[in-house]
Amino acid sequence: MRSVRTRYLVLFILLDLMLILACLPTGSGNQAPRPVPFTLLTPTPLPPTPTAEPSPTITPLPTPPPGTVVQEMTRKHETLPLESVDPVVAEFLYGRNRVPAKYAVDTYRIWFRTRDAADQIVSVQADIRFPRVEQVQAFPVFIYGAGTTGVATECAALNEYFAGRKWGDYRPHMTSYAAQGYIAVLANWQGFDDWELTHPYFVAELEGRVMLDAAEAVYDFFAQPPAKDILARPDDAVFLGGYSQGGHGAFAAARMASTYAPELEIKGLIGHAMSPDVEGLMVDSPRYSPYIVYAYRDAYGAEIIDPAAVFQPHWLATFDQDVTSKCIDEVFSYYSNDPGRLYTPEFRQALYNDRLAERYPSFKAQLDANDSNGKAYPSLPVLLLHGGDDPIVKSRTIGSFVSYLCSQGQNVTYNLYPGVDHFQTRQCSFLDTLTWMEAILAGNTPTSSCANQAGR
C-alpha cells in the first residue's frame, strides 16, 4: 500500500516538473512557435484612382457683333407725357419752328457695340428717343452726330444735360424730332466712354462706324424691347445727320455704308452747320486746332505732327493737360482764335497759303484722308443747312463742299440763312429739315440747288 502511494507521488512530481520546464524561456536554437496573429477583416476596397483625362474643350461664346445692344446696360431715362414735351422743346426751338408735339416721348440710355481703330469690339453709349404710342407703329430712324464738345470723357455729349452744361442742347433738340414721329438717336463718339482714352476727334472712319452701328443697334433694341409698353418700331428708313463735327461723321457713314452696313436703308444725308473740311476748320476757327493736332498725333503717331511745330511756345507747357481737360465751352474762353497769336509763323504761312503738303506732308495727308471733299458718295439726296454769319465754318467752306457734291451729280438741297450763326442753324432749319425728310418718305425727289450753284 505504501509502495503504491509512493509511485503516485513520484508521478505527480514528474508531471509538475514537466509543466515548469515548459514555461521556462528557451534559447534561440529551440524557439517556441509564434502565436498566430489576429487577422483583421479586409476593408471594402476603395475605387481605383481614375486615370487623368484632359478637361473637355470649352468652345468660347462668340463675341457679339457690332451694332448690337449690351442688354444688361439698358436703362430708361425719361418719359415725357405729351403735355410736357412742348415746354422741353421750347428750350431749343423758337418762332415758326416751334411746332406742337405729336407724340409723348420715351428716352432709353443704351450701350451698343462698335469697332475701334484696331478692329476690336468696344461699347459706347447712346440715347434712343421715340414716340410713346398705344399700339404697334413704325417710325423712320434719325441717327444724329453731335458737334464738337471736347476730347475728354467728361466732355461727352450725353453728359451735357446732367452736368448742367450747354454744348448743343441735345436733349430738347433730339426730343423735338421724336415728338414729330422719328426714332431719334444721339451717340457718344468713340473714346468718350473709356476713362483711359480720349476721343479721336475728326477721324472719319471711327465716326462712321459709330453712326452705322448706332443705326444697327436701333433694330436690335426694338427686336427685344426692354419693356412691354414700348410699341414703337423702326421702319426701314434711316436718315443720317449731324451738327458741325456730327455732319462730318454722317457723311463718313454714308461713304462706308455699302460695305460696313449694307442692310441699312439710308434715305438721305443732313448737315446742320456742317464742318466738312478739317483743314478748312483750322483756317476758319484756329481755336479748334489744339483738339485736331492732339487727336491726330494720338491716332496716327507722334511722327505725324509735333504741337511745337504748330503752336507758339506759350501754349506748349501745358498743351496735353489743357486739351484733355477743357470742354468746348472752356476752349472758347481759353484759346485765342487769332491765328497770329495761336500758330507759329511757319505753320500759319503754310496753312493760309496752301503749302501744308510741302512743309508738313504727313499731317496734310491725314487731313486730306479725313476731308469730306474728294470722296465718292452713294446716290442719296443731301440737305445742307448753314448760317450766313457762321463764324466757325465760314460760308465759303461749306459752299466749296456744295460745289463739289454738285459736280459729282449729287442731289443737294442747300439753304443758307442770312444773319444766322453756327449755333442757331439747327433751330432755324427745323421745319425745313422735317419737310425735306417727309418729302423723301412720301416718295418724292427733293428739289436740287445745284443749278443755282453752277454760276458761282
SS (H, E, C) 227-259: CCCCCEEEEEEEEEEEECHHHHHHHHHHHHHHH
pLDDT digit string, tens, across residues 32-56: 333 333 333 333 344 444 455 555 6
Counting Cβ atoms within 10 Å, is residue 36 exposed (0-12), middle (13-18) or buried (19+)? exposed
**Which CA distances in Å does 81 have to 37, 86, 97, 103?**
95, 10, 21, 8
- Identify the H or E element spanning 104: strand 104-115
For position 20, what pLDDT does the model report?
39
- What's the confidence (pLDDT) of residue 207? 98
* CA-wise closest residue to 384 among 282, 287, 452: 452
- Cα–Cα distance for residue pair 277/330, rounded to 1 Å: 23
Q: What is the model's pLDDT at position 422?
A: 98
* pLDDT tens digits, one per residue of 190-234: 999 999 999 999 999 999 999 999 999 999 999 999 999 999 999
69 φ, ψ (degrees, to nearest 5): -90, 140
Q: Strand pairing of 412-417 and 382-387? A: parallel
Residues 6+ apart with CB under 8 A from 51: none
Q: Which residue has the cell 440737305?
A: 383
- pLDDT by residue for the chain (456 residues), tens only, comes to 434 334 433 444 444 444 333 433 444 443 333 333 333 333 334 444 445 555 566 666 678 999 999 999 999 999 999 999 999 999 999 999 999 999 999 999 999 999 999 999 999 999 999 999 999 999 999 999 999 999 999 999 999 999 999 999 999 999 999 999 999 999 999 999 999 999 999 999 999 999 999 999 999 999 999 999 999 999 999 999 999 999 999 999 999 999 999 999 999 999 999 999 999 999 999 999 999 999 999 999 999 999 999 999 999 999 999 999 999 999 999 999 999 999 999 999 999 999 999 999 999 999 999 999 999 999 999 999 999 999 999 999 999 999 999 999 999 999 999 999 999 999 999 999 999 999 999 999 999 999 887 555
Distance (Å) of CA 406 to CA 253, 254, 267, 273, 401? 19, 16, 18, 18, 9
pLDDT at 24: 39
pLDDT tens readout for residues 257-310? 999 999 999 999 999 999 999 999 999 999 999 999 999 999 999 999 999 999
**According to the model, what pLDDT value does residue 247 have?**
98
Provide the 8-state DSSP code for 154. G
HEC profile of 35-78: CCCCCCCCCCCCCCCCCCCCCCCCCCCCCCCCCCECHHHCEEEE
pLDDT of residue 456: 53
Residue 420 exposed, middle or buried by CB count within 10 Å (0-12, 13-18, 19+): buried
72-276+379-450 has which fold? Rossmann fold (3.40.50)
Q: If you classify domain 282-367 with CATH, what class do you get?
A: mainly alpha
Contacts of 407 (CB under 8 A, 6+ apart): none
pLDDT value, residue 55: 57
Helix (H, G, I), strand (E, B) or coil at 417: strand
In percent, the amount of the chain with pLDDT more than 90 equals 85
- d(Cα 311, Cα 348) in Å, to the nearest integer? 9
Q: Where are the domains of the chain?
A: 72-276+379-450, 282-367
Residue 170, CA distances (Å) to 19, 46, 112, 393, 417 in order? 119, 73, 19, 20, 21
pLDDT of 248 reads 98
User: Distance between CA atoms of 209 and 250, rounded to whole angstroms?
Assistant: 10
pLDDT at 8: 38
Q: Which of the 8 DSSP states describes residue 354?
A: T
Would you state the pLDDT for residue 63? 83
Q: Is 276 helix (H, G, I), strand (E, B) or coil?
A: coil
- C-alpha dist (Å) from residue 198 to 13, 67, 285, 291: 117, 22, 21, 10
